[in-house]
Structure 1
């Protein structure tokens, strides 16, 4: 593990990257103890506070864990999908909130990924996934449900559809698309959308998944894509008109 001391970039960031790269490459394995702060300071030719800051960065990324006592120190941590998804959603949400991704791009990406996932869900979904989808459809039909509550339910419905594929890598990849992008899409289409239309499409998707009919599920998702894109385009056009 090496850094460039002449590089003006933050030395602690360089050290954190060097250790992270060693973890990714397999040079440092899960549960392996890292060298002590003093050993790392000598290795990188920096002060111990600089090393300490680098370790804090790695801990914040859930890449290492610390343990006290005679056998303590910093150890490579096993990262699970739930933690990785949380970071993925946060990053995706930041990109969207900073307008690095426009509505149409986000919508296309989300539904393209979800349509790729739905055939697996039609084949592998569990009774619990179906029960969640049905429960969210029922929740969405409640007259007193707020717009925020409808958004939350919409995310939960699609998350169950995605998780029904039984593939944690797909669930991770889609977490950013469904959980981070969906609130943005819902916010834009609040005033224009028909809850009844959304609920009807959700019911068709759930029926197709229950019947293991991947073709019907894809057709309903395709209609939902077209409907959502249309609403978004109208909402953005109305916004542009008001600003002139």
Structure 2
């Protein structure tokens, strides 16, 4: 009954449903329950925690909203542990930064640290399908002469970095890289270019095309230091273009 005693102490600071959810969360993340394992039945949780049915149900609902469990109806159903999906985590992060906006300088401060290591980490891990996808994203950039293709081009530029993030073997680095890419994508598609800004957009796209092609070749050559150097130079240059375009958009 250690969990019950801990619950009673924690309830001094938290609501009872929150304390129940916290106790179950600890058991899940510590490996006491594994993916698809069934949690104790509702009546057993009521007894274990000395709580009401309403408090137990609220705690389980909280864990379900967080993506830690799912509920199966009918005989043999109940609450079971689920694997937390990457996209759900990214959604929570995006919601947080919706109320804490990131400007271009802050975004590129992180990208300059993140992108070179993400790219270097995938050396030797990319499949031929990955290389084909990278090349397809580059090919899209060649459509820059037609303003109607602007959105596809901006998305293709981020697709390139998403392919590398997806192949990254470090789950923490991969998750952060994917999140930053989603911020870059959202910022890019939220602002359409003005007629006056199209020259800068075209120059930016040409740079991205050349930089991505050079990075792909270095990845094929499995030259980690060159990959890092090329990616660092690419992000430095991209920052200058993006900051300049944002400044034009504000004037």
Q: Normalising by structure 2, report the TM-score.
A: 0.79
Residues 42/181 of structure 1: CA separation in 2 closer, same or farther (3 Å cut) = farther
Alignment of 1:101 onto 2:99: no
- What 5-or-longer segments of structure 2 have no aligned partner? none
Tell me, which stretches of 5 or more residues in structure 1 are unaligned? none
Matched, 1:64 2:31: no
Residue of 221, 229, 237 corresponding to 1:219: 229
Of 28, 31, 41, which residue of structure 2 is paired with 1:26? 31
Q: Aligned partners of 2:61 and 2:138: how far apart in 1?
A: 43
Aligned to 2:41: 36
Match of 2:177 among 174, 177, 181: 174
Distance in 2 of aligned mates of 1:186 and 1:112: 23
Conserved in 1, the CA contact under 8 Å of 2:67 and 2:88?
no
Tell me what 1:123 maps to. 124
Answer yes or no: is 1:135 the counterpart of 2:136: yes
Q: Retained in 2: the 8 A contact 1:95–1:101?
A: no
Shift of residue 23 of structure 1? Answer: 1.0
Q: What TM-score comes out, normalization by structure 1 length?
A: 0.81
Pairwise CA distance, 1:150: 2.1
Q: Which residue of 2 aligns with 1:150?
A: 153
1:147 and 1:99 map into 2 onto residues whose CA distance is 28
How many residue pairs are counted as aligned between the two chains? Answer: 236
How far residue 39 of structure 1 moved from its aligned partner, in angstroms, is 2.4
When residues 165 and 77 of structure 1 are mapped into structure 2, their CA distance, relative to the original with a 3 A threshold, is: closer
Change (3 A) 1:107 1:92: farther
